[in-house]
Structure 1
């Protein structure tokens, strides 16, 4: 039992090292062992949000507005994750623009080149996130802003967890381990964790909507990827994080403007 716990902690440390730039020291676990703990990415997202959101404080303190807040906060969060998922978003964008059989699209997804599809997807998805973060900043207090960004970052990982639990793995690549070993029960656990966190920090109503949007985006990506690629890859898991964040932030902007009392 003790050995199992130690191995589990080692695998989570490996997952943290793989998903972020946070030094985790030496660990023995490979991708196969890490994949059994993929639900933990929810906490990784929450942690990254907890670091990134407070970067807005100087702007609140000096009463500085504008899109620069979104740029700074998103950059910090992306930097902490080592731009890991942005790379997946670019590969996903390139493959999405390819016409032809799924096999041809997967070859493009896995090559080392960056095409116009990658540029367009990264530019517009991240621009949407930056704009939404700036809009949330302008319409909420510092504490509310921190809560919402933390929740959004956690929900972004829920979109990826949804893809992993509902999608079919490819025949190669490290992503297949996470998809093979992530089940629907893990998605359910991720949903419960985020709903509990949103209740704990006092934004349950908006948390309920954010979780629903994250799951919906994940389902749409799974269905579209099945049609276009025939499977879910590691790049698609990364892309789903970035795309889900953008849509969750967008729904938060709408909810705040419709009813400020929701937070």
Structure 2
């Protein structure tokens, strides 16, 4: 997640829940919504971010459905297009954070040195390798999911939405498990998360995942959400060990790992239940 300075983007507007939600989408995506508000007001809805991100997942699922049902693209090609769409629509912000995080944790030294490396505009081998590994496995996971959609049923494509909701579950989990730094935009999201709102958001996402995974199996969707939370908790643990605090780059990493572990968790159960049909 790219660190930015406060500017006219965060100019004070009339506060409301809908404006905060629209502001989050405007801030975190390239969608031309043009809803502007302060970072503080957006951050109040951090707990609801996974539900909001389900809209992005829905668009990605529609793309996958069209490419598989009507154009019959190869699963690997569909997976690459879907993942590319998700990176682009998010403005590469989370992926950029992932690469910065990879650079930071691979450097020997104290937390301040690692944080300094993460702020360096140049990307090193640690960041490039981390981005390559996470990106490659994510594409392969999507390809496996598309394979099951071809073989078993197109309802499996709805799990793309679950994975995208889980990406932000990873982010909110990281927020609730982390200590904020003194500067950067990431601190607002961490400071505005509390356990009560986190649990409420988690319950809502469990309900949505059940509805989306009725075809493949509700336990598959539930495990996807748990996988996303695991990815966020793992990111927070690594950040605490190497950096002591979490910033925007750490939150961006938790988004990417939340999605990845959600896909892997769901594919494990899918493989157990449906591998004989491939």
Structure 2-normalised TM-score?
0.87
Q: Verify: 1:98 aligned to 2:107, yes or no.
A: yes
Correspondence for 2:41 among 33, 56, 66: 33
The match for 1:162 is: 173
Deviation at 1:260, TM superposition (A): 2.7
Of 53-62 and 80-89, deviating more is: 53-62
Secondary structure of 2:181 counterpart: coil
Correspondence for 1:76 among 85, 91, 116: 85
The match for 2:158 is: 147
The match for 2:234 is: 220
Correspondence for 2:194 among 179, 183, 195: 183
The alpha-carbon distance between structure 1 residues 107 and 216, as it changes in their structure 2 partners (threshold 3 A), is same
Q: Give the number of equivalent residue pairs.
A: 257
CA contact (8 A) 1:157 1:241 kept: yes
Partners of 2:76 and 2:241 in 1: CA distance: 36
Deviation at 1:88, TM superposition (A): 0.6
Deviation at 1:212, TM superposition (A): 1.6
Partners of 1:26 and 1:78 in 2: CA distance: 21
Deviation at 1:6, TM superposition (A): 4.6
Of 63-72 and 240-249, deviating more is: 63-72
CA contact (8 A) 1:166 1:183 kept: no
CA contact (8 A) 1:194 1:211 kept: yes
Partners of 1:45 and 1:204 in 2: CA distance: 20
Q: Verify: 1:198 aligned to 2:212, yes or no.
A: no
Partners of 2:243 and 2:85 in 1: CA distance: 32
Q: Can you give the 5+ residue segments of structure 1 that lack an aligned partner in the other structure?
A: none
Taking only aligned residues, the RMSD between alpha carbons, in angstroms, comes to 1.9
Query: What's the CA shift string for 1:22-68, capped at 9, x where partnerless?
Result: 122252x2212211111221123211110012222223334332411
Correspondence for 2:262 among 228, 248, 252: 248
Query: What's the CA shift string for 1:154-208, capped at 9, x where partnerless?
Result: 0011000001112100111111111111111222122111111122232421122
Partners of 1:247 and 1:53 in 2: CA distance: 18
Secondary structure of 2:128 counterpart: helix
Q: Verify: 1:107 aligned to 2:121, yes or no.
A: no
Secondary structure of 2:149 counterpart: coil
Correspondence for 1:237 among 251, 254, 257: 251
Q: Verify: 1:135 aligned to 2:144, yes or no.
A: yes
CA contact (8 A) 1:50 1:146 kept: no
CA contact (8 A) 2:99 2:126 kept: yes
Of 134-143 and 113-122, deviating more is: 134-143
Deviation at 1:78, TM superposition (A): 1.5
CA contact (8 A) 1:155 1:214 kept: yes
Secondary structure of 2:16 counterpart: helix
Correspondence for 1:42 among 27, 47, 50: 50
Partners of 1:26 and 1:84 in 2: CA distance: 18
